[in-house]
Amino acid sequence: MENFTPVSGLVGGLLIGTSAALLLMLTGRIAGISGILGSALDLRDSDAGWRLAFLAGLVAAPIVYANLVPVAIEVAATPVLLVAAGLLVGFGTRLGSGCTSGHGVCGISRLSARGIVATATFMAFGVATVFVMRHLLGA
């Protein structure tokens, strides 16, 4: 409970929900980060501009926040483990046809059965992974 931060969690959730809703209302697009990133890499796409701006905002926002509020982030993983985890997440987003933002934030809010099942699967495997890593392997 020492890391329980309900105010920042609430503010962050409101910002994520608002941005996802605005993107849907203004462009008709789902705020699925893996899809936005994948399509932004195709610079021939006419939507590449807003996609690159959206991704730039995802990178810039935490940098701005860290300069305004003192933040102490401690990463207890090796660079090799971080790269492996990133590759597994990328594989999972391709396998699941989307990521937690597309399925979890946007899919559940639209009552999409596919989004609800995908999010339940993400969560179940996340819980199982933490259990195996902490309690069975002691990592």
**DSSP label at residue 42:** -
**Digitized pLDDT (tens) for each residue of the chain, 139 residues in all:** 677 788 888 988 898 889 889 988 988 888 888 888 888 877 777 778 888 888 899 889 888 988 888 877 788 888 898 889 888 888 888 777 877 788 888 888 889 898 899 889 888 988 998 899 888 887 6
Q: Provide the number of structural domains found in the chain.
A: 1
* Best CA proximity match to 59, nearest among 33, 77, 39: 33
Residue 72 covered by a domain: yes
- CA 43, distance to chain mean position in Å, is 23
Q: Cα separation of 52 and 43, whole Å?
A: 10
pLDDT of amino acid 131: 93
Residue 1 covered by a domain: no
pLDDT of amino acid 37: 83
pLDDT of amino acid 103: 84
Residue 96 covered by a domain: yes
Domain that holds residue 113: 6-136
Q: Cα separation of 72 and 55, whole Å?
A: 24
**Which whole-number Å values give the CA distances from 67 to 11, 49, 86, 138, in the listed order?**
18, 27, 26, 35
How crowded is the C-beta side of 41, counted as CA atoms within 13 Å? 5
* Best CA proximity match to 39, nearest among 26, 54, 24: 54
The encoded tokens of residue 26 equal 């203004």
Q: Cα separation of 138 and 72, whole Å?
A: 25
Residue 34 covered by a domain: yes
Residue 53 covered by a domain: yes
Residue 76 covered by a domain: yes
Residue 67 covered by a domain: yes
pLDDT of amino acid 1: 63
